[in-house]
Chain A
Amino acid sequence: MNAPYRIQGATGEWEVVIGLEVHAQVTSKAKLFSGAATEFGAEPNTQVSLVDAAMPGMLPVLNEECIRQAVRTGMAIDAKINAWSRFDRKNYFYADLPQGYQISQLYHPLVGEGEIEVELEGGATKKIGVERIHVEQDAGKLMHDQHPSFSYVDLNRSGVALMEIVSKPDMRSPEEAGAYVRKLRSILRYVGSCDGNMEQGSMRADVNVSVRRPGEPFGTRTETKNVNSVRFIMAVIEYEASRQVDVLESGDSVVQETRLFDPDKGETRTLRSKEDAHDYRYFPDPDLLPLELSDDFLRECRESLPELPDAKRKRYEQELGISAYNAAVLTAEVETARWFEELLAATGKTGPEVGKAASNWVISDLFGALNRLGKDITESPVTPAQGAELIGLVADGTLSGTLAKQVFEIMLETGDNPGKIVEERGLKQTSDTGEIEKVIAEVMAANADKVAEYRGGKDKLFGFFVGQTMKAMGGKANPGVVNDLLKKALG
């Protein structure tokens, strides 16, 4: 059990309370209520339909794929799915909001309560509650650097579907918040409902922070908007918590307000206070009928869910005999798990027989190489099938561990299959007793003094003979066979 995270103030210890509202862009070719494309990085205003630009008389038509993805996401966190939900208009004026309202879900969200289990330092786990997931439109983007006195508007993002995933105020440290966001991102990517790309803005969080004396009721919170990396989220929490402690310890009170994070300075600052808060005048959108989901639709959503990271991790441990650490590493990212499972399938074997060796090879050899090359697993120069072949060559005694590492290096350089490399370069390990015996005899002849010392009781010299034999055979001798034969020869 980890010690609870505490802020040491001048007057004693403080506890931080954190809730996150994560906005995740739904993976979908088209927008939530229009057929316009959603691809990142397009020229400004090239992915804008008449609906997205809120031309007079335009009407929203719900994109079912976005709902399917949000429902699957809800199911992936064991949340209650509301078969009846409704869209509301959130009214406010801003130049990036063409309709003058955002279509969202206030009163009847699509997804109700669920939870996410996160892994903490030292192997502890904690369940973080999810209050709700609702679906809403994204706004456009203002560009202030195009003209000295005008701002320009890019509506490409206008109307893109977002899931707003609202946590309960269950987190108590920056680490827990970081672990929550990473786990949520992992689940979204497994489900395929969001690409989790925080740099491109596909995932961003509003961070709610308050502090209190341990065990006391919640304090007044601040909300820091649109934080777009795990590191920044953790920085916001650290900054806000210590700022609030300072405010409280100097006798002032925390103001409930919306704040902005400045990544350059690592600070947050006031965006607007509660008094300036908008009155959003939410009301049911009369252009849309209530959303009713059929049992068939819900069943199809459930059946299309992949194995999720928690289940996969447990299976790796139980069925494949993989260590808890390795299982956690292999399942954290969907691409890693996919690569690993393709490799397993290519070995043609199952269970601990192959699981342990394969997981060790992926985590130490493959990850080491990828790190060195600055590539991620989807860019690996070695395919899962090639990895499987290499592991097979070790398992059947063709390659020793040392030889396997040599072969792997050549694979990384050439992209060749390991079998071909072994064949062409004669890297095959030998278990030919005749050949090994011949080399042992030569080694013993050349080191008669050492043989005498060994036989006189200096057992430690055994390793010397192994080394000399292996060296003489260019590392290709089967170490087990060398051991046996040496013992016999040395008597």
Chain B
Amino acid sequence: MANLNDLGIAAIRDGFRKGDFSAREVADSFISAVEKARALNAFTVETPDHAIAAAEQADRDRSQGDFKPLSGVPLGIKDLFATKGVQTASASKILEGFKPEYDSTVSGKLFAAGAGMLGKLNMDEFAMGSSNETSAFGNVLSPWRRNDGGNAALTPGGSSGGSASAVSARLCPGATGTDTGGSIRQPAAFTGITGVKPTYGRCSRWGIVAFASSLDQAGPMARDVRDCAIMLEVMSGYDPKDSTSLKLDVPQWEAGLSSDIRGKRIGIPREYRIDGVPAEIDAVWEQGIQWMKDAGAEIVEISLPHTKYALPTYYIIAPAEASSNLARYDGVRYGNRVAPENGSLDDMYKATRAAGFGAEVRRRIMIGTYVLSAGFYDAYFNQAQKVRALIARDFQDAFKQVDLILTPTAPSAAFGLGETTDPLGMYLNDVFAVPASLAGLPAMSVPAGLDAQGLPLGLQIIGKPLDEQGVMNAGLALEERAGFTARPEAWW
């Protein structure tokens, strides 16, 4: 029998149905992989009991001929998703030890579909970061290493760094991620896996610790397009508990998968060619364009004129919302409290939040508080809202000419831990990812190849609102042509 860890979601699901192996065998195999890979620090909590219980249930169900969409499939769950009875800390000290009494809608749907949970995945604190270095539970290491023999520790990207590292290292066949400004796509690109950020509103945000409410979206991270489609179908759907969730039926994306994209018009935005981006990024983009042509698509040069304002706009809106969303972590009702002797309520707030939040989170709370404050609101927040509308309109105009847009996912391959210390330099990681987030559009990253150092590079496909099918079909066309089979060699 093949190593079960090498199987993706579809292969596990189908093999389990056929009786090639039991769900318990699958769970045990991944549990053991998780235990052996602690050096990666991908998990903040391991939950083998949860995975085993789901597997045993799946095995019992199978004997009755009862199969759920994810029966037998164990997954990793990003620590941003509330999980009943299991620490949900958003990788923050302020929530360390917090065990919610509820499951998020998305993780609950996955469990109801038969999936088990291998553990909670490490991430940047409150999903704020692009390298997973802001986690209160320590860096996640990428399983990838440069081919220079130097063994430098690399970032898996962020904020869904634990998810990316775990899927890439074969610790789980799939994981949940969340994407506010690239947090699924950039780590997927850095670790050679596939990740989808669906249209804003496809997945309920209920029970996902909020970072920036108008941008946050859950999505799948897995080894290939099909596995993402399977997961996304389960994760999506209208939730009356989230007023911004879309009241639409969930399409059968897996059944609709087709790499036949003949006649599709693929837009290449000229504003995404920016100075200072390594030639290898341009090269992989050119390669992607060529694959699209080979697949029979028509390439159209387009303009998204407000692209250069996307990053500044994002770094006003996201911190503004975050500064308000994170106000609830005050030490009063749950989470950690630091109450100075004989101190006032204000003293408790200050001490609790100073001790509980890391530097990046504090920085964004300060930025957000500033841009919303009296006298600055119009100049920053209001202006950013207007620019956001212009960015969305750029896409609307572009989608009159094209069906999909192809860009690089990130402006570089994975970098070394500790290499990027300047916050602004770090923010640049999401320069290609953020515009689609601001516009609420579906977008995905597909592994396209390796750079000269042997590190994965990803291509991003952006689609019209609700056209996840089109995005994933184009992703499949790229996947077939890229034939990306590289994987990190186990050193952990």
Cα of A94 to Cα of B374 in the assembled complex, Å: 20
Kindly specify which of B65-73, B219-227, B322-330 makes contact with the partner chain: B322-330
A305 at the interface (CB under 8 A from B): no
The verdict on A100 contacting B98 (CB below 8 Å), with A61-B241, A93-B349, A289-B244 known, is: no
CB-CB under 8 A from A299, the residues of chain B are none
Given known A-B contacts A93-B330, A286-B321, A281 and B243 have beta carbons under 8 A apart: no
Residue ID in chain A nearest B102 by CB atoms: A50
Contacts of A91 in B (CB 8 A): 323-324, 327, 372
**Do A54 and B349 touch (CB < 8 A)?**
no
- B interface, by DSSP: helix, strand, loop or mixed? loop
> Is B77 an interface position by the 8 A CB rule?
no
Residues 153-206 of B contacting A (Cβ, < 8 Å): 205-206
Asked if A59 contacts B242 (CB within 8 A), the reply is yes
Knowing A101-B324, A279-B374, A283-B381, say if A60 contacts B243 (CB, 8 Å): yes
The yes or no answer to A55 lying at the interface (CB within 8 A) is: yes
Chain A, Cβ-Cβ closest to B370: A281
Q: Is the CB of A281 within 8 A of B102?
A: no
- Chain A 39-74 interface 0/1 with B at a Cβ cutoff of 8 Å (1 = within): 000000000001001111111111000000000000
Q: Is the CB of A101 within 8 A of B327?
A: yes
Q: How far is the CA of A283 from the CA of B322 in the complex (A)?
A: 12
Q: Which of B90, B207, B209, B377 contacts A283 (CB 8 A)?
A: B377
Cα distance A50–B330 in the bound complex, in angstroms: 16
Distance to closest chain A CB from B389 (angstroms): 13
Q: Which residues of A contact B327 (CB under 8 A)?
A: 91, 93, 99-101
B477 proximal to A (CB < 8 A):
no
Which stretch from B1-9, B210-218, B258-266, B467-475 is at the chain A interface? B210-218
Using A56-B98, A57-B207 as known contacts, say yes or no to A287 and B243 having CB atoms under 8 A apart. Answer: yes
User: In the complex, are the beta carbons of A61 and B240 less than 8 A apart?
Assistant: yes
Set of chain A residues within 8 Å of B381, measured between Cβ atoms:
283
- Known interface pairs A50-B102, A100-B328, A286-B321. Does A57 touch B82 (Cβ–Cβ under 8 Å)? yes
Report the minimum CB–CB distance from A65 to chain B (whole Å).
15
B206 touches A281 (CB 8 A): no
Interface flag for B313 (CB, 8 Å)? no
Q: A286's contact among B213, B328, B345, B346, by CB below 8 Å, is which?
A: B213
Which of A50, A60, A98, A279 is the one whose CB lies under 8 Å from B332?
A: A98
Partner of B369, one of A62, A281, A287: A281
The answer to whether A56 touches B90, judged by C-beta atoms less than 8 angstroms apart, is: yes
Q: Does A75 contact B (CB under 8 A)?
A: no
Is A377 at the interface (CB under 8 A from chain B)?
no
Instruction: State the Cβ distance, B393 to closest chain A Cβ, in Å.
Output: 19
Contacts of B461 in A (CB 8 A): none
B345 and A95: CB pair below 8 A?
yes
A287-B213 contact, Cβ under 8 Å, with A56-B82, A56-B95, A57-B82: yes
CB pair A59–B321 under 8 Å, yes or no, is no
Say whether A279 contacts B321, CB under 8 Å.
no
CB of A21 to closest CB in B, whole Å: 20
The yes or no answer to A153 lying at the interface (CB within 8 A) is yes
Instruction: Say yes or no: A56-B100 contact (C-beta < 8 A), given A61-B240, A281-B372, A289-B243.
Output: yes
A324 at the interface (CB under 8 A from B): no
State which of B206, B320, B346, B373 has its C-beta within 8 Å of the C-beta of A279. Answer: B373
A288 touching B243, Cβ below 8 Å: yes
Measured between beta carbons, the chain B residues less than 8 angstroms from A289 are 243-244
For residue B202, give the distance in angstroms from its CB to the closest CB of chain A: 15
Q: A281–B371 Cα gap in the complex (Å)? A: 9
CB <8 Å contact, B333 and A98: yes
CA distance A94 to B208 in the complex (A): 24
Interface string of A413-431 (1 = CB under 8 A from B): 0000000000000000000
Q: In the complex, how many angstroms separate the beta carbon of A459 from the nearest chain B beta carbon?
A: 86
Beyond A91-B324, A286-B213, A288-B243, whether A55 also contacts B372 by CB under 8 A is no
Interface string of B241-269 (1 = CB under 8 A from A): 11110000000000000000000000000
Of chain B, the residue at the smallest CB distance from A288 is: B243
CB–CB A100/B372 < 8 A = no
Complex CA gap A450/B373 in Å reads 96
In Å, the complex CA distance between A116 and B321 comes to 39
**Contact yes or no, A281 B324, CB < 8 A:** yes
Digitize B71-82: 1 where CB-to-A-CB distance is under 8 Å, 0 elsewhere: 000000000011
Nearest neighbor of B245 in chain A, beta-carbon distance: A59
The reply to whether the CB of B130 lies closer than 8 angstroms to some CB of chain A is: no
Q: Does A89 contact B (CB under 8 A)?
A: yes
Q: Tell me the nearest residue of chain B to A89, going by C-beta.
A: B324
Q: Which of A59, A94, A95 contacts B206 (CB 8 A)?
A: A59
- In the bound complex, CA of A101 to CA of B475 (Å): 42
Q: Which residue of B lies closest to A101 (CB)?
A: B324
Residues of chain A with a CB closer than 8 A to B243's CB: 59-62, 287-289
B373 pairs with A281, CB closer than 8 A: yes
* Chain A neighbourhood of B328, CB < 8 A: 54, 56, 98-100
Q: A59, B332: Cβ atoms under 8 Å?
A: no
How far is B206's CA from A245's CA once the two chains are assembled, in angstroms? 55
The closest CB in chain B to the CB of A87 belongs to B243
B324 and A56 contact, CB distance less than 8 A: no
- Besides A54-B328, A91-B323, A93-B346, 16 new A-B residue pairs in contact (Cβ under 8 A), listed by A number: A54-B333, A55-B334, A56-B95, A57-B81, A57-B207, A57-B209, A58-B206, A58-B207, A59-B205, A59-B241, A93-B330, A100-B324, A279-B373, A281-B374, A286-B212, A287-B213
Interface residues of A (CB under 8 A from B): 50, 53-62, 89, 91, 93-95, 98-101, 151, 153, 279, 281-283, 286-289
30 contacts between A and B (CB under 8 A): A50-B102, A54-B328, A55-B100, A56-B209, A57-B81, A57-B100, A57-B206, A57-B210, A60-B243, A61-B240, A61-B242, A62-B243, A91-B327, A93-B346, A94-B345, A95-B345, A98-B328, A98-B333, A100-B327, A151-B345, A281-B323, A281-B369, A281-B374, A281-B377, A283-B381, A286-B212, A286-B214, A286-B244, A287-B213, A287-B244
